[in-house]
Amino acid sequence: MFEKIMELIRSYNTIIIHRHKNPDGDALGSQIGLKHLLMHNFPEKKVYAVGDEAGRFDFMDDSVMDVVDDSEYESALAIVLDTSASHLISDERYKTAAALCRIDHHLFCETIAPAEVVDSSAESCCSLITALAMEQNLSLTPVAAKSLYTGMVTDSGRFRYDSTSEKTFLRAAHLLRNAFDLNEVYQNLYAADFEQARLRAQFVLKIQFTPNRVGYIYTTQEELQALNVSTFSISRGMVNTMADIKGVNIWVNFTETENGILCELRSSKQNINPIAVKYGGGGHMKASGATVNNKEEAMQMLHDLDKLAGENT
């Protein structure tokens, strides 16, 4: 699958790795993973990782980006990872590279490079970099393995989203042949600070249920102001306090704002998207959002969700 990309890698002595802006665990994991994979297997080459700062993933090994001079691009191969559209790529200088290729796992949007591997069946880009290492018999280092594993965990929602497959675990198993501290990966990803834990506890106590066990939380504008945190961290941030409750397959978080009531809809089985669309929103089958004008509309939506929950699946 990666023959063409390997040919390019072999023919260039300078390789500069790009990924999308505001990097997540998979963007950084695949970037750092590929960088260390190439440095280890081709020690004569110069390999760089570029882009904006690592942000909340700055705990990852070697997550400080390299400073690369413009002139380096003239004879370089640029590799774009984990990015579906060119306007999302961090550091536009990839356009000036002598050669360009891409490895991605998003649904195909547009062609970015003459040589591309886009496999949307993969749960993460890290999974594809691991597949490259396996297919091409390249040996991994502990830092490469740990970075790639981190991206697999984050993009698969701890190996639980629908995209998680047999291939995911075969590749994860391959990574685990290199000794790295698994616990450290999970600690950095999932340890919450006390304020966050407290907020979650407050929201767990606010959960209510409809007759057909739709879980919901309703936060008034007054309550929101008193919490003194961002709307986003309540609306998106607290919806999944209702995930993983036995017998609750649909849940929704209502948050009053100046510009209407934000509705975050989630489901573990049924398709809630048509209900979000009905109220002017959108999203995915199991995760959608909408903004309604008032509490009456919000309660109407809740009623629709309750009806859906009552249907035989």
Q: How far apart are CA 236 and CA 15, in angstroms?
A: 38
Smallest gap from Cβ 156 to Mn ion, in A, equals: 10
Q: How wide is the angle at C-alpha 150 spanned by C-alphas 149 and 152, nearest 5°?
A: 65
Residues 65 to 94 in contact with Mn ion, rule: CB under 5 A? 82
Residue span binding Mn ion (CB under 5 A) among the ranges 24-32, 83-91, 197-205, 243-251: 24-32
The residue of the chain with the least Cβ separation from Mn ion equals 26
In angstroms, the CA 162 to CA 193 distance is 29
Determine how many CB atoms are found less than 10 A away from the CB of residue 32: 30
Binding part of the chain for Mn ion, among 147-155, 172-180, 217-225, 273-281 by CB under 5 A, reads 147-155
Least distance between Mn ion and beta carbon 226 (Å): 37
Find the part of the chain contacting Mn ion (CB under 5 A) among 22-30, 33-41, 132-140, 272-280. 22-30
Tokens of 76: 């370089």
Q: In this chain, which stretch among 85-93, 125-133, 232-240, 251-259 interacts with Mn ion, using CB under 5 A?
A: 125-133
Nearest to 145 by CA among 169, 167, 188, 176: 176
Determine the Cα–Cα distance for residues 126 and 31; give it in Å rounded to an integer.
Answer: 8
How many whole angstroms separate alpha carbon 63 and alpha carbon 5? 24
Q: Could you give the string, one character per residue 255-294, with x where binding to Mn ion holds by CB under 5 A and - elsewhere?
A: ----------------------------------------
Site mask for Mn ion (CB under 5 A), range 148-177, x = bound: -------x----------------------
Part in contact with Mn ion (CB under 5 A); list of ranges 19-27, 189-197, 206-214, 296-304: 19-27
Q: Kindly tell me which of 155 and 264 has the beta carbon lying closer to Mn ion.
A: 155
Which of 26, 62, 123, 264 is the binder for Mn ion (CB under 5 A)?
A: 26
> With binding defined as CB under 5 A, does residue 62 bind Mn ion?
no
Smallest distance from the beta carbon of 155 to Mn ion, in angstroms? Answer: 5
Cβ neighbours of residue 217 under 8 Å, at least 6 residues apart?
A: 203, 206, 207, 208, 238, 239, 241, 242, 252, 253, 254
Q: Of 26 and 62, which CB lies nearer to Mn ion in the complex structure?
A: 26
Q: Strand 76-81's sheet: what is its strand order?
A: 46-49, 14-19, 76-81, 99-104, 115-118
Write down the least CB distance from residue 128 to Mn ion, Å: 10
Q: How far is the CB of 250 from Mn ion (least distance, A)?
A: 27
Q: Which is nearer to Mn ion, 82 or 264 (CB)?
A: 82
Rounded Cα distance, 161 and 146, in Å: 20
Q: Are 142 and 178 in contact (CB under 8 A)?
A: yes
Using the rule CB under 5 A, give the single segment among 90-98, 122-130, 138-146, 194-202 that binds Mn ion: 122-130
Within its chain, how far is the Cα of 67 from the centroid?
Answer: 25
**80 DSSP 8-state letter:** E
Residues forming the site for Mn ion (CB under 5 A): 26, 82, 125, 155
